[in-house]
């Protein structure tokens, strides 16, 4: 494993009896990346995270974390990563300070180092004011902060966070996202989630998994750019030509999959249309030339970029999964 790779996964597979939860997944994560591991519920995200953190053994394939094999060197792997599961496991009858002291002891940290690190991560995670409170008294947002502090306590190279903002209110979500982005400047972070705004707000790179298969890998910008087709908004001054005739002319253009007359606020004598492009067609020049040839005044031509929601939806449908399966077979 090279020094510029923190996590290396090759053909990772997990079966539960006849059910395959993770199906030959492969990827790498570099130092300093904040990687969004995105997928619908039941896609295999949490199972993958549990294999990387040595809570589950793979059925097949291999994974190395910080240079150590998750099967043969699980103790070394755990020394180099911090893990925040979706359901934060915290002893609720302990105070925040007692719990972090307990976590430090379980990590084999010396008393001096534990004291320094508890103070450091406590301040960073905003726990100073609740250090003496029992965990049971805390809001879910603060319990997530305690779980994150536990994961950071031993200063690991890698943080794996499984649905870190699940169940939080909007203010708490903003606070946790901000904290994750700050941590990502220093650590390698894998953020497992099915919440799209979470990924857009915090991640520099995205993996999309569905049905246990990896169906996409790239930056948010690259994934949007690779999305086939696109939608265009066109507004023309028709010079007396009926809008239905304009629609039919636009629909006849090569690369146009669908044309819709759009209502709304347009000036008298002007008409608006929404065009869906087929495949990767770029309709800007054909639309412009058609407007010139037909002596329409082109008032607006806007190509709408695909959203991450569009990419996610298209990649997690049956056709996308079948294509991914063909590529891996």
Predicted model pTM: 0.74
pLDDT tens sequence across 174-203:
888 888 888 888 889 999 887 888 888 889
In the numeric block, which tokens belong to residue 9?
Answer: 């996964």
In the numeric block, which tokens belong to residue 288?
Answer: 């412009």
Spatial CA neighbour of 52 closest among 17, 89, 12, 86: 12
Distance CA 23, CA 46 (A): 13
Q: Which segment of 35-44, 244-253, 312-321 scores lowest on mean pLDDT?
A: 312-321
Distance CA 305, CA 220 (A): 12
What domains are there in the chain, each with its CATH number? Answer: 7-225 (3.40.50.300), 228-304 (3.30.70.1340)
Distance CA 171, CA 236 (A): 44
Distances (CA, A) of 186 to 11, 65, 159, 179: 28, 17, 11, 12
pLDDT tens sequence across 130-147:
999 999 999 888 898 899
Q: What percentage of the chain has pLDDT greater than the value 90?
A: 61
In the numeric block, which tokens belong to residue 302?
Answer: 């806007």
Average pLDDT value for residue range 295-320: 80
Supply the angle between the helices 96-106 and 111-124 in degrees, to the nearest 10: 130
Spatial CA neighbour of 192 closest among 160, 150, 222, 169: 160
pLDDT tens sequence across 75-133:
999 999 999 988 788 999 999 999 999 999 999 999 999 999 999 999 988 899 999 99
pLDDT tens sequence across 35-72:
999 988 889 998 999 999 999 999 999 999 999 999 99
In the numeric block, which tokens belong to residue 80?
Answer: 């180099």
């Amino acid at each position: 494993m090279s020094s510029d790779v923190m996590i290396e996964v090759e053909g990772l597979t997990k079966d539960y009896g006849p059910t395959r939860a993770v199906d030959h997944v492969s990827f790498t994560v570099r130092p300093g990346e904040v990687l969004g591991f995105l997928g619908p519920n039941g896609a295999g995200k949490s199972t993958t995270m549990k294999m990387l953190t040595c809570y589950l053994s793979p059925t097949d394939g291999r994974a190395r974390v910080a240079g150590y094999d998750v099967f043969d060197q699980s103790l070394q792997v755990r020394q180099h990563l911090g893990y925040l599961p979706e359901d934060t496991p915290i002893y609720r009858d302990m105070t925040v300070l007692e719990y972090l002291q307990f976590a430090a002891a379980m990590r084999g940290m010396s008393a001096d180092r534990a004291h320094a690190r508890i103070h450091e991560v406590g301040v960073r995670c905003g726990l100073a004011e609740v250090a003496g409170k029992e965990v049971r008294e805390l809001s879910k947002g603060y319990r997530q902060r305690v779980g994150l502090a536990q994961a950071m306590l031993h200063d690991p190279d890698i943080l794996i966070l499984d649905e870190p903002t699940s169940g939080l209110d909007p203010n708490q979500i903003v606070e946790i996202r901000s904290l994750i982005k700050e941590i990502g400047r220093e650590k390698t972070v894998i953020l497992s989630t099915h919440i799209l705004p979470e990924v857009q707000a915090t991640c520099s790179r995205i993996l999309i998994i569905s049905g246990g298969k990896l169906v996409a890998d790239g930056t948010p910008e690259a994934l949007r750019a690779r999305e086939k087709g696109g939608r265009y908004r066109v507004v023309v001054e028709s010079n007396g030509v009926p809008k239905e005739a304009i629609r039919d002319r636009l629909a006849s253009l090569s690369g146009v999959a669908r044309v819709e007359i759009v209502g709304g606020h347009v000036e008298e004598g002007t008409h608006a249309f929404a065009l869906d492009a087929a495949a990767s067609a770029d309709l800007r020049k054909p639309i412009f030339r058609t407007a010139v040839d037909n002596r329409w005044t082109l008032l607006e031509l806007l190509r709408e970029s695909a959203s991450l929601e569009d990419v996610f939806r298209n990649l997690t449908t049956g056709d996308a999964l079948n294509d991914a399966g063909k590529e891996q077979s």
